[in-house]
Structure 1
Amino acid sequence: MTEGNFVDYVKIYVSSGKGGKGSSHLHREKFIEKGGPDGGDGGRGGHVILKGNKGLWTLFHLKFARHIKAGHGGDGGSSRSTGADGEDKYIEVPLGTVVRDKETNEILFEITEHGEEKILVQGGKGGLGNWHFRSSTNQTPRYAQPGMPTEELDVILELKVLADVGLVGFPNAGKSTLLSVLTSAKPKIADYPFTTLKPNLGIVAYRDFQSFVIADIPGIIEGAAEGKGLGHYFLRHIERNSTLLFLVPADAEDIKKEYDILLDELRRYNPEMLDKDRLIVVSKADMLDDELKAEMKQELDIAFKGIPYMFISSVANQGLTELKDKLWQMLNIDTEQPENSHGL
């Protein structure tokens, strides 16, 4: 999937089908001049239904589908025949899609499972035919119910990426490079900030044919929680990740300060983010000799007390196996495992 094809926010107007009219037909045939009522019911209008599809990763297919309408129910007929139900309209969406009412911004529901179906707007009920209104005092009713009208709704569909691990870091911290060496994903990589403008997903192959999903989130800047830079546009994708991998380059002026800024932006956006498992990864470790790395470890042991950290180099392929092992352990956490793990 190219970056331009990743769409995680669309606004659409949906309309259900109206119910068909009931029939007010009176039975007529040869030798029967005054038959009773035999008008059938109208058919139900079509629903607009959202359906989860694990094969989709983006809302791109809905980018230009601004109006989605279901079919109308058919009118009732003679001989108590019921009109045809209107055609239901299915909208397939990727897992992790959140549906909001555009007017109130209220969350209506979320789609998180493959094949899960939720009715967005219900089709109108078909009207009853005059056969239902016959009585001893009104044997030939010449009226029937109209069908119920359509339901209309303006909604916002937001995709929150479903990944096991979310890469968090400042622009140009090396997140895309790390994703490219851990997975078969091919994100855009360059030596300038904000190369990544949309989340990239990759599947990390692990031992015994097991795997987990990692997401490269566009770089955070200070003030992102207030909407600066790419703001909320990407922060919502981190909400779904069970583990957060904080990537800080070894040549950063102050590794602890960068981590604190990143953590504070997540806290200001959603305090529940701090409940997630965290792993700090110092990238570009090939720039460090053994003596400098030992000095940094002494400082980081104090700065990151109780928080696991590792040194890696994506370019030199250093520490990547240990990183995969650590992430797998955190995703399948064993409470008896020691909390801190200082990889070399």
Structure 2
Amino acid sequence: MQSQEALKALAIVPKVSGAVSIIGSTCILNDIFMKSRKKSNRLPINLRILVSLSISDIIASFFAYFLSTWMVPSDTPSEDVVFAAGNDVTCNVQGFLTALTLAASNWSIASLAISSAMIACWGWSNDKLLELKWQIPLVVFPWIYGLACGIYFQVVKGYRYNGSSRCLIGDEPFPLWVIIFTLINVLFLFISICSAIASLVKYVYQVEMKLDKYQVGGTQQTRRREKTIRTAKQGIWYTLMWLFVATFIVIGGFVGEEPVWFWILYGVFVPLQGLFNAWIYFRERIIANRRKRRRNASQPKPQPDVPRADIPEADDPQPDVPQPDV
């Protein structure tokens, strides 16, 4: 059993991280929607997936992390939980939304990595990926899969307090077919993401080597290629940050209530997915603005024009001065 100090830390830390993550995902959504209002063309497929990912992160950050133990039934023994103020309904809602958004986020990251590889490495156009037959697996499927997981766990196992910070899946053992299906799903997800990342890394390395070798710049083809490289790099960064967060989730599935320090780190980093995504999303823009400011600072400032007094020069005719009468 964990100490009261540890339980308080596990309940409070995710609230702070969850609030920060909500701010990050909200900034992404606001920027994308502002772009969509200014431009008449349709949003690229990567931004559509990022919208889906940000929405799932906001839901998870609020219900699973910010609310944390507030959703746990208030009749839970005080030595097992702190700040519990909910009931069985709120616990089930929290567990259901956590399962839904966790599955949706995982597959949205996979969709983001795969779509980035399809555009950068395999030459697919954005217009082709915006066709309905490709939007369904890339944008819609993660939510369908997450909804199916949430409903299944609700019906078969239910959701209970997990002993640290929120309500999750009950403790009853899973049927064998569910374990096999989950392992296949995780394996397929991992292989898809790693394959996409490997393709993106290889593409970025090869293209940048060519650009450095020939030093081609300024042409429309080169600008298009540089834009594709930025898309590929963003796909790599999104996936690497997801792998960093997923590492804590996987380890958390094998360790018990101890060590407490691990669960505190879990509460710090796992809810910060929205902040990581915002950093990646705005990173290129921040770097470009810094370069622009440095470039402007290095240029000499123009000297302001100083107005001169209207003094007649030596060769100018002197004005007539009236002489006094004698």
Question: Do both share a fold (TM > 0.5)?
Answer: no
**TM-score interval for Structure 1 and Structure 2 normalised by the shorter chain:** under 0.3
User: Higher helix fraction: Structure 1 or Structure 2?
Assistant: 2
Q: Tell me the TM-score normalised to structure 1 length.
A: 0.22
Higher RCO (Cα < 8 Å, 6 or more apart)? 2
TM-score (norm 2): 0.22
